[in-house]
Homo-oligomer: A and B are copies of this chain.
Amino acid sequence: MPWDLCADRPIYVQIMEEIERRIITGIYVPGSKLPSVRELAVEAGVNPNTMQKALAEMEQGGLIRTERTAGRFLTEEQHRIEALRKELLQKRMRAFLTEMQSIGVGVKEIEAWIQRTKEDQT
């Protein structure tokens, strides 16, 4: 899953979202050390300062803890991660439903589509 840096929001925000996604999906495991600022910057093809900003911003959410000389660590508190997942899910869900509504697609039509998708998977 590459970084995909091509939307209209600031890069550092996109980075935060990608990192959150990795946390939610368990790519970064609770309590473990995150890659260093420089590593992540290289991986994302971004200036270290930008990555720094993204990580510093994330720190406020309490998901990440910094140990100044050792690196950054992902919280071990599962409830924080679960809360993040819920929050993200809710945000995306609302955005999706709003957009669907704006193009005149009702809940029923969405449900039908999802049903069809479910059948495709089986």
A69 at the interface (CB under 8 A from B): no
A104 at the interface (CB under 8 A from B): yes
Instruction: Indicate if the CB atoms of A85 and B113 lie closer than 8 Å.
Output: no
B-chain residues with CB within 8 Å of residue A7 when the two chains form the complex: 7-8
**Complex Cα spacing A67 to B52, Å:** 25
Number of copies of this protein chain within its complex: 4
In the complex, identify which listed stretch (A28-36, A39-47, A71-79, A88-96) lies at the interface while the others stay far away. A88-96
A residues with CB within 8 A of B: 1, 6-8, 21, 24-26, 85, 88-89, 92-93, 96-97, 99-100, 102-105, 107, 109-111, 113-114, 117-118, 121
8 contacts between A and B (CB under 8 A): A85-B103, A85-B105, A88-B103, A92-B96, A93-B110, A107-B117, A111-B111, A114-B114
